């Protein structure tokens, strides 16, 4: 067989093999067989040296032409195989974006925090500032500055967790009254402040008492503030939280840091005021303590009680949450039972 015929045969067989190749690995093997160092084209090219001199240029140029044709055919096939494999991969990895995704559970504010947020919004709307204070408090602020000197019998009203003799877990948010009074600059206007937070008492837990619960303290100090302002403010808060049907009733009470002192009841949610087991037949539920700030509290904080006066109150948002959502046991709020807590989402 002449060299030319040999080259044509290699080309025809090579093109057929290239065409029939089904994957890149196979194509690579064909490439090596045809164009590699020991490949058929290379071997044949070696034979050129044995040809008569005048035949060598024609044979050499044919060999180069065939090598180029095979190289082009290999590249074209390689690109076709790559496209086919990419299409196959895309088809296999296709996702249906219309399918519903996996539900990722999200956290949400605790129900008591929601009530506190609502109370904050109401008072911010009435021009109050919101302050927060230490839960680990000095006895000085928790008691002394609230007109409860050492050995005052009213200290027994709030059983206390002591850390040291002078440091305790605050039993109420009222120390924030003293802290705000001390720092407020009355030349800039009246003091109108609320302070929400956690408080701690050595109370025995029962359906309406927890040893750790929340309070929102409120205080307004200016000239000419009266008890009517207190009642109006508490009524505005109650209407905003529960609706206009709910009334506020003030009953005389005693707190060492207010004079006069009151406890405020609101219309029982459960019976609408008719009287039921929840309100023990009275039609009212006690939700907060309040009163006109005692002159001693003002004096100790450096405020002249002859010039300034006002009211203060301490709300229990845990009790509000119980009323609002018909929860009969305060302890449910603290058990971290997600089935219970997620119903307030």
Helix or strand run (H / E) with residue 200: strand 191-200
Q: Could you identify the residue written with the tokens 């602020």? A: 141
Q: How far is the CB of 310 from ligand FA5 (least distance, A)?
A: 11
Tell me if 203 contacts ligand FA5 by CB under 6 A: yes
* Dihedral sign for Cα atoms in the order 251, 143, 215, 299: positive
Query: Count residues contacting ligand FA5 (CB under 6 A)?
Result: 23
CB 180 within 8 A of CB 194: no
- In whole angstroms, give the CA distance from residue 237 to residue 187: 28
Closer by beta carbon to ligand FA5, 215 or else 233: 215
Judge residue 5's burial from the number of C-beta atoms within 10 Å of its C-beta, 0-12 exposed, 13-18 middle, 19 or more buried: exposed
Q: How far is the CB of 235 from ligand FA5 (least distance, A)?
A: 17
Give the residue at shortest CB distance from ligand FA5: 316
Q: How far is the CB of 126 from ligand FA5 (least distance, A)?
A: 17
**Which range of residues in 23-31, 113-121, 210-218, 273-281 is near ligand FA5 by CB under 6 A?**
210-218
Q: How many CB atoms lie within 10 A of CB 62?
A: 16
For residue 118, the number of C-alpha atoms closer than 13 Å in the C-beta half-sphere is: 20
Tell me if 197 contacts ligand FA5 by CB under 6 A: no
Using CA atoms of 181, 148, 140, 299 in order, give the dihedral in degrees to the nearest 10.
30
User: Tokens for 25?
Assistant: 């690995």
DSSP string spanning 31-52? Answer: HHHHHSTTSHHHHHHHHGGGS-
Q: How far is the CB of 313 from ligand FA5 (least distance, A)?
A: 5
- The SS3 call for residue 135 is coil
Q: In whole angstroms, how far apart are CA 127 and each of 123, 130, 248, 312? A: 6, 10, 22, 15
Alpha helices in 163-258 (DSSP H): 175-183, 227-242
Closer by beta carbon to ligand FA5, 229 or else 286: 286
Annotated binding residue at 217? no
Tell me if 137 contacts ligand FA5 by CB under 6 A: no
Closer by beta carbon to ligand FA5, 291 or else 309: 291
Q: How many CB atoms lie within 10 A of CB 3?
A: 20
Tell me if 255 contacts ligand FA5 by CB under 6 A: yes
Restricting to residues 264-323, name those near ligand FA5 by CB under 6 A: 286-291, 312-314, 316, 318-319
Question: What character string, x for contact with ligand FA5 (CB under 6 A) and - otherwise, covers 162-191?
Answer: ----------x-x-----------------
Closer by beta carbon to ligand FA5, 122 or else 312: 312
Q: How far is the CB of 318 from ligand FA5 (least distance, A)?
A: 5
Restricting to residues 7-36, name those near ligand FA5 by CB under 6 A: none
Tell me if 209 contacts ligand FA5 by CB under 6 A: yes
Q: How far is the CB of 338 from ligand FA5 (least distance, A)?
A: 22
Closer by beta carbon to ligand FA5, 40 or else 258: 258
Select the residue interacting with ligand FA5 from 215, 233, 238, 267 (CB under 6 A).
215
Q: Which of 132, 112, 141, 134 is nearest to 196 (CA)?
A: 132
Annotated binding site: 259
Annotated binding site for Mg(2+): 259
Residues that bind ligand FA5 (CB under 6 A): 172, 174, 201, 203, 209-210, 213, 215, 255, 258, 286-291, 312-314, 316, 318-319, 330
């Amino acid at each position: 067989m002449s060299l030319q015929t040999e080259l044509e045969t290699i080309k025809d067989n090579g093109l057929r093999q290239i065409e029939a190749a089904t994957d890149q690995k196979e194509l690579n093997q064909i490439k090596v067989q045809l164009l590699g160092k020991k490949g058929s084209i290379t071997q044949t090219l070696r034979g050129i040296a044995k040809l008569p001199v005048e035949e060598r240029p024609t044979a050499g140029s044919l060999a180069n032409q065939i090598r180029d044709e095979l190289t082009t055919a290999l590249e074209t096939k390689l690109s076709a195989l790559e496209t086919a494999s990419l299409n196959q991969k895309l088809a296999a990895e296709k996702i249906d974006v219309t399918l519903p995704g996996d539900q990722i559970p999200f956290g949400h504010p605790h129900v008591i925090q929601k009530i506190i947020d609502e109370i904050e919004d109401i008072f911010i709307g009435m021009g109050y500032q919101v302050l927060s204070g230490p839960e680990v408090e000095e006895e000085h602020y928790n008691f002394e500055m609230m007109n409860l000197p050492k050995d005052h019998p009213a200290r027994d009203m709030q059983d206390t967790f002591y850390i040291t003799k002078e440091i305790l877990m605050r039993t109420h948010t009222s120390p924030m009254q003293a802290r705000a009074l001390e720092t407020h600059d009355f030349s800039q206007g009246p003091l109108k402040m609320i302070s929400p937070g956690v408080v701690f008492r050595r109370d025995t837990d029962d359906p309406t008492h927890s040893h750790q619960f929340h309070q929102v303290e409120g205080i307004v100090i200016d000239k000419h503030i009266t008890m009517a302002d207190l009642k109006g403010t508490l009524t505005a808060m109650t209407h905003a939280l529960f609706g206009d049907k709910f009334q506020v009733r003030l009953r005389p009470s005693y707190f060492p840091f207010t004079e006069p002192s009151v406890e405020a009841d609101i219309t029982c949610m459960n019976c609408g005021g008719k009287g039921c087991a929840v309100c023990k037949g009275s039609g009212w539920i006690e939700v907060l303590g309040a009163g006109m700030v005692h002159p001693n509290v003002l004096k100790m904080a450096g405020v002249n009680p002859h010039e300034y006066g006002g009211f203060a109150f301490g709300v229990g948002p845990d009790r509000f949450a119980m009323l609002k959502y018909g929860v009969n046991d305060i302890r449910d709020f603290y058990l971290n039972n997600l089935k219970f807590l997620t119903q307030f989402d």
